[in-house]
Amino acid sequence: MEYSTQMKLKRFFRKPVVTYALLTIQILAFVLMTLDGGSTNVATLVKYGAKFNPYIVLGEWWRLITPMFLHIGFIHLLMNSVILYYLGEQLEGMFGHLRFAGIYLLSGIAGNLASFAFSDALSAGASTALFGLFGSTIMLGQTFKHNPAIQQMAKSFSMLIIINIVFGIFSSSIDMAGHLGGLLGGFLLATAISVPNPLKIWRNERLIYGGLFLLLVIILAYIGYRSTAVSLFGL
């Protein structure tokens, strides 16, 4: 490979390419849904993979992943896309592409599991994963206590977390369980995965937080399965 090509590739991968990929997927999904019945149509949302508890219990566990890429209406897509771009621009470079992708996807699953466990409403949106990224900023603030830039970023995002939670309390359309599940999942994952060359997070601590995340996932999956199975089949 020529040197100029190598340099172009290096410059390209310095950019938040995972963030761009996630944005592309959710925009394409929105376009497809819009052309196939509309993104606010319940049947279309179910068809494309929104979180629907009865289908999850019947074996469609992939519905814990697909809701992260679906949005209900253009404003929902626009708001979450702006937040994803802003967070990705800052966090992907800190965590690295793979760590960032892992935190986003796995905390999104944790958030969808929390929604599965505590809400029987149809739901979709990147918010569960975005709250996972919010959770990761809390970890960064705790880890890099002597870095003014990271401390300022953590404080800013902490205010956004508080505002979103307060707003969610007074809005019946917001899936608070999903948001809080993603937030906790993101914090646990970010601590377990950490960042390259962390200052104070040692291997044992990483294993503990990774184990706590796994335990959280198992508990939420069990609660969701049991509560939905009881309502469906009387088990």
Token couple for 194: 């950490």
59: burial class by Cβ within 10 Å (0-12, 13-18, 19+)? exposed
Q: What is the DSSP letter of 123?
A: B
Domain that holds residue 7: 3-233
Among 127, 136, 173, 231, the one annotated catalytic: 127
What is the total count of domains within the chain?
1
Prediction pTM value: 0.89
Q: Among this protein's residues, is 179 annotated catalytic?
A: yes
Q: Among this protein's residues, is 76 annotated catalytic?
A: no
Higher pLDDT, 83 or 150: 83
Q: Is the pLDDT of residue 216 over 50?
A: yes
Among 71, 123, 179, 194, the one annotated catalytic: 179
> pLDDT digits over 19-29, tens only?
999 999 999 99
Q: Is the pLDDT of residue 157 over 90?
A: no
Count CB atoms within 10 A of the CB of residue 58. Answer: 12
Q: Is the pLDDT of residue 199 over 80?
A: no
> pLDDT digits over 118-137, tens only?
999 999 999 999 999 999 99
Token couple for 183: 């937030």
Instruction: Find the CATH number of the domain harbouring 72.
Output: 1.20.1540.10
Distance CA 28, CA 156 (A): 31
